[in-house]
Structure 1
């Protein structure tokens, strides 16, 4: 099992290296700003940043933390059914948007080496997200973790390929 964890970590780090903008933030082990700063500086997270702004969560995710964020890419948001994202961004749906976004956030810093040891993680919205290791990859509620351990001054980001939804 230890070999499996090491293999998963190597695969996840390889995915991080394949994401140049995120790799730049990760170099030298130094955090490049808050979680919001790191996401805003990456073109793959324009939708996530817009959603965080619409939900009024910028100040929270720029706060002390620490937080672990399972961050969906723009491509992940594009997988949602047509009209879903536009609807969620409307002011009258702010509570639903907050519930979804806080489902992507875990209190504390949980690095990849620790994620692979878990079978679930309690999220900020109060529900637990399932974590599984399948065929050499880590999944959070069925979303593939495609990059890991992107450091921020107030936490860590793991990139996922699908928006995860609470019950």
Structure 2
């Protein structure tokens, strides 16, 4: 089973094509992060993209004004491999693309959490 939304191209195109427009604020941060080429490349990644309700407008402005902070946020949510929900164990730790930052994935009773966020 693949997590949703279903991919329609590269990671950036998948976020942009979300019918519910749940990733607009994250996309604004991505634009300011300097990692667009990573998200539009052909390498395989899993992106745990925060939805709009995870950001206030002030948060987005803070990231727009600080490229290093925006870059860190995007890379912290990016794992350099494909992760399938069916293959998840109860507890896994994966390295993110942000140096020295890890992503902790929990699976219990069919529910998945990444760090403290429900997926």
TM-score scaled to structure 2, two decimals?
0.84
Q: Which runs of 5+ in 1 are unaligned?
A: 1-8, 17-21, 146-167
RMSD of the alignment, in Å? 2.2
Correspondence for 2:79 = 106
**Cα distance per residue 1:102-157 (max 9 Å; x no partner):** 00000011111223454211101121112223454211111001xxxxxxxxxxxx
Number of residues of Structure 1 aligned to a counterpart in Structure 2: 116
Correspondence for 1:19 = none
- On the 8 A contact 2:112/2:118 being kept in 1, the answer is yes
Correspondence for 1:137 = 111
Q: Quote the offset at 1:83 in angstroms.
A: 2.3
- Between 118-127 and 99-108, report the one with greater CA deviation: 118-127
TM-score scaled to structure 1, two decimals?
0.62
- On the 8 A contact 1:116/1:138 being kept in 2, the answer is no
1-structure distance, mates of 2:55, 2:73:
12
From the two aligned structures, give the one with the greater strand fraction: 1
- Residue 112 of structure 2 aligns to a residue whose secondary structure is strand
- On the 8 A contact 2:107/2:113 being kept in 1, the answer is yes
Q: Which has the larger radius of gyration?
A: 1
From the two aligned structures, give the one with the greater helix fraction: 1
Correspondence for 1:87 = 62
2-structure distance, mates of 1:110, 1:133:
13
Alignment of 1:115-130 (within 5 A): 115-126=88-99, 127-130=101-104
